[in-house]
Amino acid sequence: MTTLDKIVSLCKRRGFIFPGSEIYGGLGGTWDYGPLGVELKNNIKEAFWQSTVYGRNDVVGIDAAILMNPKVWEASGHVKAFVDPLVECKICHQRFKADQKEDLAGHEKSHQGKKTQWTPSRKFNLLVEAKLGVVEEAKQKVYLRGEITQGVHVNFKNVLDSTRLQIPFGIAQIGKAFRNEINPGNFTFRSREFEQMELQFYIKPEESQARKWYEYWKKERMNWYRTLGMTENKLRFRQHEENERAHYARDAWDIEYDSPFGWKEFEGIHNRGDWDLSQHQKSSGQDMQYFDQETGKHYLPWIIETSGGVDRAALFFLIDAYNEDKDPSTNSGQGRVVLKLNPKLAPVKVAVFPLLANKPELVKKARLVRELLTVNRELLPIAWDERGNIGKRYYSQDEIGTPYCVTIDFKTLEDDTVTIRDRDTTKQERVKIASLASQINSRLNRGPTANSG
Ligand code: ATP
């Protein structure tokens, strides 16, 4: 069974994710991505950008500043309404989000025998504050952005004026957000610093348009996760109850994953109406309206938002890809851990091995093969391993999800062929070095590998 503990230990052992500031005892709710983690995250972000921006002609991207004028957060309602209900355990003073019933129940069990009493729920603002300025007394209080969304909306007019976009159109952004979460936990799932990948899609302010685009983006986003190999029956939509919705949302649906700690949200699709633009118009005094050339009318567009967490997606892709199976190529059916990640997401695309490290002619040839592959950007990064026996090297790559391993053996020296081993089937095939790069490339692009879940 895939437990969170197994994922956490794999991430630490192999360099996906480390606790933040670990040598100083850590900092609650912060995580550092290691050599493999940064590749996985970059691949997720690239796939998002590819499908949301490059793959269409009605969306552009921006990269707004993390630090913004505090008036932005007053106008957007975050200073007042970006709150979670907080309760405190009267026995041990640990604090929880009052609406996380499972966490509360779990905590109550930890005080077995004693009846847990909770303080009345009070509102707790999640914005993280910072101070900006060079003179101590005159430092200005600012907020680290609680969502990346506002950076897009305050630039609505700038983007409009500098492009030829017409409604409906979207602005995508990927970047860090910060929340003073009451109870960070479940590994990276609830962090205090995390990354979001979002699309703000501006439409005519009409119910029929909102319904149409809302359904469209729900479908698109769900398909995106499926196409990248997430197991279909582990994904579902859940609509927010009216009292659960964020202050800006007219409608909200989450995409949830069936994780080892329950069904959990990792992307939200929201109908924000004209909340953001009207608030910024009111607060800044700037005209945020769109001029519709066809009808000659000015209006504030409505916004359909898709807001995904890069870290939560990375975590769920890892959990979904994690398999413990028996190596089909060995008679003994040796057990192995294999990450059946979609090749597009796999941190390492190819590993190159000389069969034996103590045969200089094999090592020299293997180095040449690695160099040959290195010129193909889409095959990077390439791993190199010459330690121990070849079986262990294969398993070591399986564990991090490397789709293909190339081995240089004695036959290579005779006929310039190498073996390619497939992560999922463990089958090996001999191919000519001359066609190696194109062979691997076409296999990588063949789409998701079968995921047995
Ligand atoms: P939750 O209910 O779990 O606190 P949310 O509904 O507040 O999440 P949104 O404000 O809709 O989340 O943010 C959009 C996405 O940003 C979430 O679906 C999630 O993937 C990501 N996200 C939000 N908060 C965190 C967090 N503390 N750590 C990691 N990712 C987060």
Which pLDDT band, with edges at 50, 70 and 90, does 338 fall under?
Answer: very high
Indicate yes or no: pTM above 0.85.
yes
* Percent share of the chain, pLDDT over 70: 98
Which contiguous run of DSSP H or E holds residue 316?
A: helix 310-321
Task: Identify whether the C-beta of residue 151 lies closer than 8 Å to the C-beta of residue 198.
Answer: no
Token representation of residue 67: 């630090």
User: ∠ at Cα 200 (43, 82), nearest 5°?
Assistant: 100
d(CA 351, CA 49): 27
Which pLDDT band, with edges at 50, 70 and 90, does 341 fall under?
Answer: very high
Which pLDDT band, with edges at 50, 70 and 90, does 453 fall under?
Answer: very low
Q: Is 340 in the pocket of ligand 1 (CB under 6 A)?
A: no
For ligand 1, atom 30, name the residue with the nearest CA: 309
- CA 219 to each of CA 223, 255, 347: distance values in angstroms, whole numbers, following the listed order: 6, 10, 27
**Ligand 1 centroid to 211 CA: how many Å?**
23
Architecture of the domain made up of 327-444: 3-Layer(aba) Sandwich (3.40)
For ligand 1, atom 1, name the residue with the nearest CA: 265
Is the pLDDT at 355 greater than 50? The verdict is yes
The phi and psi torsions of 230 (rounded to 5 degrees) equal -65, 140
Which pLDDT band, with edges at 50, 70 and 90, does 113 fall under?
Answer: confident
Region 266-287: what's the mean pLDDT? 96
pLDDT digits (tens, 9 = 90+) for 289-324: 999 999 999 999 999 999 999 999 999 999 999 999
State residue 329's pLDDT score. Answer: 77
Nearest to 323 by CA among 241, 201, 231, 442: 231
Which contiguous run of DSSP H or E holds residue 207?
A: helix 207-227
Q: Is 307 in the pocket of ligand 1 (CB under 6 A)?
A: yes
Q: Is 169 in the pocket of ligand 1 (CB under 6 A)?
A: no
State residue 41's pLDDT score. Answer: 98
Q: Measure the CA dihedral 313/318/323/328, to 10°.
A: 110
Domain 4-82+126-311 CATH (choose: 3.30.930.10, 1.10.1060.10, 3.40.50.620, 3.40.50.720): 3.30.930.10
pLDDT digits (tens, 9 = 90+) for 17-57: 999 999 999 999 999 999 999 999 999 999 999 999 999 99
Domain boundaries along the sequence of the chain: 4-82+126-311, 327-444
Q: At what angle do helices 310-321 and 4-14 cross, to 10 degrees?
A: 100
Q: Which residues pair with 153 in a beta bridge?
A: none
Q: Which ligand 1 atom sits closest to the C-alpha of 191?
A: 28
Q: Which ligand 1 atom sits closest to the C-alpha of 309?
A: 20
Give me the amino acid identity at 65: A
State residue 326's pLDDT score. Answer: 85
What's the farthest any 2 CA atoms get from each other in the chain? Answer: 78
For ligand 1, atom 2, name the residue with the nearest CA: 265
* Helices and strands, counts by H and E, the chain: 14, 23
Which of 174, 199, 265, 275 gets mutated to test ligand 1 (max ligand atoms within 8 A of its CB)?
265
Which pLDDT band, with edges at 50, 70 and 90, does 328 fall under?
Answer: confident
In this predicted structure, which of 170-184, 282-296, 321-335 has the lowest mean pLDDT? 321-335
State residue 9's pLDDT score. Answer: 97
State residue 244's pLDDT score. Answer: 82
**Ligand 1 centroid to 316 CA: how many Å?**
14
